[in-house]
Amino acid sequence: MEEKLILELRNLSISLKIDDNYLPIVKDVDLKVCNGKVLAIVGESGCGKSVMASSILRLLPRELKIVQGEILFHAQEEDHPVDIARLNPKGKEIRKIRGGKIAMIFQEPMSSFSPLHTIGNQIMEVIQLHKNESKLNARTRTIELLKKVGIGHPQKAVDRYPHTFSGGMRQRAMIARALSCDPAILIADEPTTALDVTIQAQVLRVMKQLQKEYGTGIVFITHNLGVVAQMADEVAIMYMGQIVEQGTVIEILKTPQHPYTKNLLKAVPQLGDLEAQKRLHPIKGSVPSLFGRPRGCAFHPRCQEMIKGVCDQKDPISRKLSESHIISCFQNENRSFQEQKK
Partner 1 sequence: MKTIIEVKNLKVHFPIGASRFFIKNQKQLKAVDGVSFKVKQGETFGLVGESGSGKTTLGRAILRLIEPTAGEILVNFNDETVAFSDLKYKELRSFWRHMQMVFQDPYASLNPRMTVKEIIGESLLANNLARGKELEKQVIAIAGLCHLNIEQLGRYPHAFSGGQRQRIAIARALVMHPQFIVADEPVSSLDVSIQAQILNLMKDLQKELGLTYLFIAHDLGAVAYVCDRVAVMYLGQIVELATTEQLYYTPRHPYTEALMSAIPSLDPEQPMKTVFLEGEQPNPANPPTGCTFHPRCRYADNEKCSKESPPFRELSDGWFVACHFAEKLNLMGSKGYSN
The contact set with partner 1 (CB under 8 A) reads 44-45, 152, 166-169, 196-202, 204-205, 223-227, 229-230, 232, 249-250, 253-254, 263-265, 267-272, 274-275, 277, 279-283, 286-287
- Structural element, H or E, at residue 126: helix 119-131
Smallest separation, CB 234 to partner 1 (Å): 11
The residues, any chain, with a CB within 8 Å of residue 4's CB and separated by 6 or more, are: 34, 35, 74
> Nearer Cβ to partner 1, position 73 or 165?
165
Long-range CB pairs of 279-287 (<8 Å, 24+ gap) are 287/44, 287/46, 287/47, 287/239, 287/240
What is d(CA 210, CA 215) in angstroms, rounded to the nearest whole number?
8
> Nearer Cβ to partner 1, position 91 or 282?
282
Smallest separation, CB 191 to partner 1 (Å): 13
What is d(CA 242, CA 231) in angstroms, rounded to the nearest whole number?
22
Smallest separation, CB 284 to partner 1 (Å): 8
> Nearer Cβ to partner 1, position 115 or 269?
269
Smallest separation, CB 74 to partner 1 (Å): 27
What is d(CA 246, CA 258) in angstroms, rounded to the nearest whole number?
10
Using an 8 Å Cβ cutoff, are 12 and 243 in contact? no
Smallest separation, CB 153 to partner 1 (Å): 11
> Nearer Cβ to partner 1, position 28 or 234?
234
Q: What are phi and psi of 296, to 5 degrees?
A: 75, -140
> Nearer Cβ to partner 1, position 128 or 202?
202
> Nearer Cβ to partner 1, position 250 or 314?
250
How distant is the alpha carbon of residue 9 from its chain centre?
A: 12
Torsion of CA 105, 106, 108, 110, to 10 degrees: -60
